[in-house]
Amino acid sequence: MSVKEEAKNLLGKGMDGVLFYQMKDGSAIPHLFTSKDIDEMPDVREIPDSERYPLSDILSKLLMRFSSAKFGIVARGCDERAIIELEKHQQIDTSRVSLIGFACSPELAKICSCSKPYTESLADEMNEAQEISRGIESVERMSTPARLGFWLSNFSVCVKCMGCRNICPLCFCKECSLQDEDLVESGVLPPSIPTFHLLRAIDMAGRCVMCGLCEEACPAGIPLRTLYGKVSEIVREELGYVPGTRGVKSPLEELGSSVGSDDDLKS
Amino acid sequence: MIDEEMVDYRTVPTVCPYCGAGCGMLLEVCSGEVIGVLPMKGHPSSKGSLCAKGWSSPEFLKSSNRLAKAILREEGEEKEVSLESALGLVVENLNRVLEKYGPEAVGFISSARCTNEENYLLEKFARTFAKTNNIDHCARL
């Protein structure tokens, strides 16, 4: 069954809209399909590999704005992982979401260094994906001074567009540490080295679902997949946590939530 | 299912209004209201990136500080006037200054967001009508 037929079924079952891409002048752009325009929903193969957007973040915004509506979403593996992780952070109410999954092309999976370029519903049909390099090994092979130089030179070209944060499906905080004057001085380029990038890297630990949208959005070409891939590797090896998997919350979140209640803080 | 008319989300391809680079962006529109912006992935020049200004452009979209009408300041007081009378005043004062102080006393500022042809016209206007080389544009930050 095509995703369009699956989406039609969802609308028939009372969903208010299905989030996916619309084709416009040869480009795929995010769009919420309703019963009025569902016939225009393209097939997954029509979506160019280079045109991915943070659909999970859009879904989160829609759920908050339309507080009683139900939505379907045609999702890639990374969209699904972000939805799972966002639910753990109370940003998505999955009881109001139905997911139609699809697999990325092998070419895109390679570009993304993605080890799971498909949704859980398709896991049985897929070949076991290879763990692909995120550039971590080549950076770790460098001598310590060379590695430091590699990162400092990459951080020095940052134009502080905030694109990495803005496009990140897991960046939902209302107050952002990157805009804290005590941590990152405002009005200075490049932004505080290495504080700015390490702050974001620490926030990505236990959260990053490796969608790679940050690296794609970076006008300075900073290897953010490698940076966040490394912090994710540390969290996986030290704490056994992989963001975007069902079940337990990130141990980093548990640490925060068990320290006292709001009342304790006030007194 | 809630009222169908209410649930609406679409993205509208447009061009960043800030500078002459003209990066591709998508406005996120929810029931007629702009709620955010995304870099346009398929854009031939900006290729899915935006700068700090482009990313923050929705912030000024609804700013109450935006001038939506011509405002005339007279003796410290600001009042709304029609565009015709505002332009009439510009013509009147431009002629007056040119006659009294000459071409070096006037200048023209164009915009990086105008078309090439519009910028050419203002340049021609400055050099042939006002006979001045005082012409610049907003991208000289």
d(CA B94, CA A241): 70
ipTM entry? 0.89
Determine contact: A52 vs chain B, CB below 8 A: yes
pLDDT of chain A along its 267 residues, tens only? 889 999 999 999 999 999 999 999 999 999 999 999 999 999 999 999 999 999 999 999 999 999 999 999 999 999 999 999 999 999 999 999 999 999 999 889 888 888 889 998 888 777 665 666 667 888 989 999 999 999 999 999 999 999 999 999 999 998 999 999 999 999 899 999 999 999 999 999 999 999 999 999 999 999 999 999 999 999 999 999 999 999 888 887 776 555 445 555 544
Count of A-B CB contacts under 8 Å:
102
* Cα three-residue angle B75-B80-B81, rounded to 5 degrees: 95
Instruction: Judge whether A187 is closer than 8 Å to chain B, CB to CB.
Output: no
Using DSSP's 3-state secondary structure scheme, residue A81 falls into helix
Please tell me the number of Cα atoms within 13 Å of A96 on its side-chain side.
Answer: 22
CB–CB of A27/A51 below 8 Å?
Answer: yes
Quickly list H helices, A97-187. 106-111, 136-140, 144-156, 163-167
What separation in angstroms does the CA of A187 have from each of A83, A109, B52?
34, 38, 11
**Which token pair is A238?**
């030290």
Paired tokens of A163: 């694109």
- What is B9-61's CATH number, 2.20.25.90, 2.60.120.10, 3.30.2290.10, 3.40.190.10? 2.20.25.90
Q: Is the dihedral of CA A86, A91, A95, A96 positive or negative?
A: negative
pLDDT digits (tens, 9 = 90+) for B46-88: 999 999 999 998 888 888 888 889 999 989 999 999 999 999 9
State residue A196 phi and psi, 5-degree precision. Answer: -55, -50
Tokens of B19: 């500078």
The CA distances from residue B69 to B78, B84, B86, B93, B94, in Å, are 12, 11, 10, 20, 21
**Which of B1, B4, B43, B56 is the best residue to mutate to test the A interface, defined by the most A CB atoms within 10 Å of its own CB?**
B1
CB-CB under 8 Å, B6 with A66? yes
* Domain boundaries, given as residue ranges, for chain B: 9-61, 71-137
SS3 call for B138: coil
Check if the beta carbon of residue B61 is closer than 8 Å to that of residue A168: no
pLDDT digits (tens, 9 = 90+) for A122-146: 887 776 656 666 678 889 899 999 9
DSSP-assigned letter for residue A65 = H
Provide, as residue numbers in chain B, all residues whose Cβ is less than 8 Å from the Cβ of A51. Answer: 41-42, 48
Angle at B125 between CA B120 and CA B130, to 5 degrees: 145
Cβ–Cβ below 8 Å for A31 and B35: no
Residue positions counted in chain B: 141
